[in-house]
A and B are shown apart, each in its own frame.
Chain A
Amino acid sequence: MATPWPYSHPSGEGDVDKIHDFLITHTQDGILTWVVEEQAAQEFSLTYQEVELTALAAGIMPGRYQKNRNTLSLADQATLLKSHVAVIGCGGLGGCAIEGLARIGIGKMTVIDPDSFEEHNLNRQILCTINVFGMAKVDVALTRIREINPAVEVVPVRDAFSKEKGPEMLKGVQVVVDGLDSIPVRIQLGEVCSNTGIPIIHGSIGGWYGQVTTQMPGEHTIREIYQDYSGEEGIEKDLGNPAFSPALIASLQAAEVCKVLLGMGKCLTRRMLFFNILDMDMETLKL
């Protein structure tokens, strides 16, 4: 359990000033390097997230985020670091979304998937390597996120999403990423999010094709897209999914997550982008 922020750390409140001074003293050109971040975490018994939030509040950019500068401000990075996102499904879309969200510095990620990695995941699922066959996808996700960004708190849930368990699974979550591979479960997820007030970034893929849209609380976009569809799968049942489709759609999902959290730009609400990578066409559908 992460310490709430702003926190009263056991080592004493006076330490906040000491940490601040330490960071100021060891910062070069407004950048906090990883080496100094590690030192600060050890010296003051803080989590990396606490060190990064202290730095950001002091106008110091953790080195890992320096190339986000002028796209994301210090305040934006702090907002992301205090955010909680759930990724439902850790396969093709979910894996790529997790990768992007960890790198951009989402402070807390709940990752949900009941499955383990198998050989047929290798063609597209970024978390899958020959060394992780048989391992739980959520455990591999946890390891990957920690390797990329230890400031991210991870809650791995090795379970299938269901409408019964959904509200409990998504407690405290601010934005959901749909990385599922079942149309009926997607509809359930969309409805749970709608009813519990959580924006959800829907993405799905099949062969050379993919779609992405953002559903805000109270909307039923996902249900409307699939309507009374009775099947479990769509065209991906015949076409499979190559490496580039999840990478494309999940990147857009990760970007939408950040925009929703930061209130930036124009989100894909009541619009769906439909990609045809084979013919390099994109349609914007008004829903």
Chain B
Amino acid sequence: MPITVKLFASLRKGRFDEDTRVYASGITGRSIVRDIGIPEKEIRLVFVNGRHASLEDLLADGDTLALFPPIGGG
């Protein structure tokens, strides 16, 4: 099933901005993050179809997974 992955801010560096990839059904955000090769500690905010989500959530056909890094400077 196709899943669109959107990366934000520094997560794009050396990777991509947006990519639609095909995965087996029942996949979680965490497995996709591993597949792309992003260390999990670099991700803070996870959105699925624009809704605040968790990496443990199961994804469905055509979902969009958006990943953001932690920003803490002042």
Contact = CB atoms under 8 A, between A and B. Distances in A.
B10 interface: yes
Contacts of B72: 181-183, 186, 204, 206, 226, 231-234, 236
A127 to B, nearest CB: 13
Given A224-B52, A286-B51, A287-B52, A209 B9 contact: yes
Interface stretch (A77-85, A90-98, A145-153): A90-98
Nearest to B9: A209
A205 B70 CA distance: 10
Contacts, number: 92
B69 A234 contact: yes
B8 to A, nearest CB: 7
Nearest to B17: A279
A234 B9 CA distance: 12
Nearest to B74: A181
A94 B47 CA distance: 29
A180 interface: yes
Nearest to A250: B74
A179 interface: yes
Nearest to A205: B73
Contacts of B23: none
A58 interface: no
A211 interface: yes
Given A225-B44, A226-B44, A239-B10, A91 B71 contact: no
A57 interface: no
A94 B71 contact: no
The interface centre, meaning the residue of A204, A224, A227, A234 with most chain B CB atoms within 10 A of its CB, is A234
B70 A91 contact: no
B74 A246 contact: yes
A279 B44 CA distance: 20
A224 to B, nearest CB: 7
A211 to B, nearest CB: 6
Given A181-B73, A205-B74, A279-B17, 17 more contacts: A92-B74, A183-B70, A203-B74, A204-B73, A205-B71, A206-B9, A207-B10, A209-B69, A229-B70, A231-B72, A234-B44, A234-B72, A235-B71, A276-B9, A285-B47, A285-B68, A287-B52
19 contacts: A92-B73, A93-B74, A204-B74, A206-B9, A209-B69, A226-B44, A226-B70, A229-B70, A231-B72, A235-B10, A235-B70, A236-B73, A238-B10, A245-B73, A246-B74, A274-B9, A279-B17, A285-B52, A287-B52
